[in-house]
Amino acid sequence: MTASQLKEISSYIDALFSRNVHHVHNRNHLIRVVENARRISMVVKPKQLEPFVLEATCLLHDITHQYYKNGLFNYLFERRLARKALTELLPQFKLNASDKRIIITAIANHPFSIPFRNLHKNGDVYTKILQDADSLDYFHPERVTAVGKKLHLPDRVVTIILRPLSRWARNHIGWFLNYPKLADLVVYDGDR
């Protein structure tokens, strides 16, 4: 993948996700996942990793939340829906077959580490890094607040129940990672 192809994907994602400012799957989440993936790759040091392909994978990983209505159907069939959406979308970026395959495979296989611990410890490095980068952001305070708003919970409930629960979950995030040693990477302001 070239820098210009990555820039084209990034611009596409900027436009697509710009309308979802307060949604759990917003642009801020994607950027945090990209940053987490970079940090993970520095710790894990995989032998063969194309940084542009990894970043594109992270930017595109929640594409189903833009193409399909959020809900139980999207949640349960995210893998199939991701394959379908990406198969239709990726040709416009003129990626080679290998990059397309890597992106589709990683994105289709990344769901369900939380809460089901459906991990890919023996899978390809892109899937493992994406899954862990996404999991490390799962309980980010911004996302917890967005869940509270989506569920129409009073701020007091979010403060008293959701934030402490998410802090506990972040302290035990290693249970849900392909690389459990990465649990130390998840520290937010005011935690621990």
Q: For 107-126, what is each residue's pLDDT tens digit? A: 999 887 777 777 888 889 99
- Kindly report whether the peptide bond that precedes residue 111 is cis, defined as omega within 30 degrees of 0: no
Q: Is 124 part of any domain?
A: yes
Q: Is 123 part of any domain?
A: yes
Rounded distance, CA 83 to CA 73, Å? 15
Q: Is 132 part of any domain?
A: yes
Domain tally for the chain? 1
Q: Is 19 part of any domain?
A: yes
Q: Is 101 part of any domain?
A: yes
Q: Is 186 part of any domain?
A: no
What residues contact 108, with CB distance under 8 A and at least 6 apart? Answer: 79, 80, 82, 83, 86
How far is the first Cα of the chain from the last one, in angstroms, to the nearest whole number? 39
Task: With a cut of 60, say whether residue 191 has pLDDT above it.
Answer: no
Q: Is 166 part of any domain?
A: no
The stretch 2-29 carries a mean pLDDT of 87
Q: What is the pLDDT of residues 19-78, one digit of tens each?
A: 765 577 788 999 999 999 999 999 998 888 999 999 999 999 999 888 777 777 777 788
Q: What is the pLDDT of residues 88-111, one digit of tens each?
A: 999 999 999 999 999 999 999 988
The stretch 122-139 carries a mean pLDDT of 91
Tell me which residue range forms the domain holding 58.
3-138
Burial 29-62 (b: 16+ CB within 10 A, else e): bbebbbebbeebbeebeeeeeeebbbbbbbbbbb
Q: What's the pLDDT band for 190 if we cut at 50, 70, 90?
A: very low
Q: Is this prediction's pTM over 0.75?
A: yes
Task: With a cut of 70, say whether residue 189 has pLDDT above it.
Answer: no
